[in-house]
Structure 1
Amino acid sequence: MGHAHAHGHGSDKDRSQGRGRRLLIALALNLGITVAEVVGGVVSGSLALLADAAHNFSDAASVLVSYIAWRISRREADRRRTFGYARAETVGALINLTTLFVIGIYLVYEAANRLFNPVEVAGTTMLVVGVIALVEDLAAAWVLRKDTGSLNVKSTYLHMIADALATVGVIVGAIVIMVWGSGVSWIDPAITALIAVYIFVHASHEIREAIAVLMDSAPRDFDYDAVVADLKAMPAVEDIHHLHVWQPEEGKVALEAHVAVSEPDLGEVTDMTERMRRRLHERHGVDHATIQVELAGRVRHDTKLIRNE
């Protein structure tokens, strides 16, 4: 039996103290946005402003969960968590995205209620607070831009950009109300509904990615057949079975396989597995490979990928 292991340490280097500091700064900025928009929404009567405040508060909670998850993910592997704690960030993302769906449903309900029961909206207050929120949204995105190599932080970064776009919608609504008056009060719940639609679209895409990691799915673009063909093309390889591919953490690919070979020499087998490891990394982006080599004439177990009992 031979084993080849490829270890990637890039994620450990990426989890710098600087990332944690930037997440905390983004958290403070989002909380500032939330407070400003809640006050402005209550004073102006703008549901769109309150909707954006709810969205920004969820983002503040998201950044907090991301920070906590980042802290947990830095722990070393132990006897209970032998793969380490990196997936803590994915679990945090799943919590945040589920909360976003709940907020989106609530905003749709409030928008419908306000559409049938309109109230007067103070456009000037809505505009001023909207501009303040836009500046803080862009500042939060700017702070996080250096860590977008991390899927967890990139997700938060994209939320900040999207929040800025939603705030632009609030500003446009304020200008419309200031120019045309209360006759266009429907613009406020309409913008609220659009923010809710954005939340649904954005969160549904992100949650699929989080679930894929937690379900041990291979990356969407991983070419399973090409890997099998590539390994079978190597000298002395007779068969490949029990090939499993998954993501132990965001952005990392792991693989394990049983390789039946006709070469009985242990030294040659060891060199062969090393060549396989390099090929998997260079051609298919596999960061960690565990290869169990078996003598082709001695393979007696079931070679199906999943055994049905």
Structure 2
Amino acid sequence: FALGRRRATPRFPYGYGRAEDLAGLVVVLFIAGSALFAAYESINRLFNPSEVRFVWVVALAGVIGFVGNELVARYRMRVGREIGSAALVADGLHARADGFTSLGVVAGAVGVALGFPAADPIAGLIIAALIVTVLWSAGRDVLLRMLDAVDPAIATEAREVLTEVEGVEGVGAMRFRWIGHRMHAEAEVMVDESLSVGAAHDIAERARHALLHEVPHLSSALIHADPCGHSGSDPHGPLAHHERAVAPVS
């Protein structure tokens, strides 16, 4: 977050927000490490059992650890979703994975107290499986963010906002991308072809202003005004052969 707040530079024209996404990837790797470590330790204890001493003290510590980690997890995940930070949500899931580990300690201690020594490593294996489910959720969100995936509902909402702007006769291609926990947008709006450059610019600015106010987490937008082409002409026709195989959201 500290690095992401730095101003954009000629070398980093979009700023340093991607550092936040890289941090999220590191968190995902830590969660994967937690799952592997829990599985390894559980298998080792299954084949090399050892006595668990002070069972109820261990259980109490596990309960405290679970409650504390779960509270931290919920707080981080809630804030992460509010500000649009996949990295912070992943960090919350990491805390939840730590909580699952504490819960496994409780389950194992109770099993040992009831006369089932194998309960400890078995509980550990179950917890490792639960951590894998956390890993899937965190990893999916972070990787989708790094691949510039965006919820299609955002494009739908943005199109509705742009359509309501006075002077906009249609909405063309749109692109969105997350940079850290902030979003950047590019959109084409169609305006009357008889308008002056200044009038078309004013409409584009009103469209940009509307997007920045109405689309959550959007921090910057670039709006291009196209002549509407009532005659059926395509203002981008001469550049059609340069278009990529994958068309932008329209």
Specify if TM > 0.5: yes
Pairing partner for 2:185 from 255, 260, 275: 255
Task: Deviation per CA, 1:149-182: give whole Å up to 9, x if none.
Answer: 553445434433553354233124213312x23x
Q: CA deviation at 1:136?
A: 6.1
Aligned-pair distance for 1:242? 3.6
Identical-pair percentage: 25
Q: Give SS of 1:98's match.
A: helix
Superposition CA RMSD, Å? 3.5
- Provide the secondary structure at the position in 1 that maps to 2:237: coil
SS of the residue corresponding to residue 153 of structure 2 reads: coil
| 1:28 counterpart residue number | none
Change in Cα spacing, 1:303 to 1:235, as seen in structure 2 (3 Å) is farther
Partner SS, residue 139 of structure 2 = helix
Does residue 203 of the first structure (1) align with residue 135 of the second (2)? yes
**Where do 5+ consecutive residues of structure 1 fail to align?**
1-69
Q: By how many angstroms is 1:229 displaced?
A: 5.4
Give the AA of the match of 2:21: T
Equivalent in 219, 226, 229 of residue 294 of structure 1? 226
Q: Secondary structure at the match of 2:39?
A: helix
The superposition leaves residues 85-130 of structure 1 with CA deviations (integer Å, 9 ceiling, x where unpaired) of 1221210111220232244134324423433443333225633653
Cα deviation for residue 138 of structure 1 reads 6.8
Correspondences of 1:115-194 after superposition (within 5 Å)? 115-122=46-53, 123-124=55-56, 126-127=58-59, 129-130=61-62, 133-134=65-66, 137=69, 149-150=82-83, 151=85, 152-178=87-113, 180-181=114-115, 184-194=116-126
In the alignment, residue 203 of structure 1 is paired with which amino acid?
A: L
Aligned mates of 1:99, 1:305 — CA distance in 2: 42
Matched residue, 2:232:
none
What secondary structure does 2:45 align onto?
Answer: helix
CA separation of 1:262 and 1:232: change in aligned 2, threshold 3 A = same
Q: How many angstroms does 1:200 deviate by?
A: 1.0
Aligned equivalent of 1:213 = 145
How many residue pairs align between the two structures?
235
Provide the TM-score with structure 1 as the length reference.
Answer: 0.62
Cα drift, residue 302 of structure 1? 4.2
Is 1:94 aligned with 2:12? no
Q: Does 1:82 align with 2:13?
A: yes
Counterpart for residue 21 of structure 1:
none
Comparing 146-155 with 90-99, which one deviates more in the overlay? 146-155
Gaps of 5+ in 2: 230-234
Secondary structure of the equivalent of 2:209? helix
Distance 1:144 1:230 in 2: 31
Q: Distance in 1 between matches of 2:240 and 2:164?
A: 19
| TM-score, normalised by the number of residues in structure 2 | 0.74
Query: Structure 2: how far apart are the matches of 1:146 and 1:240?
Result: 34
Is the 8 Å Cα contact of residues 111 and 189 (structure 1) preserved in structure 2?
Answer: yes
Distance 1:119 1:195 in 2: 19
> Cα offset for 1:308?
3.1
Measure, in 1, the Cα distance between the counterparts of 2:140 and 2:242: 24
Deviation at 1:217, TM superposition (A): 1.8
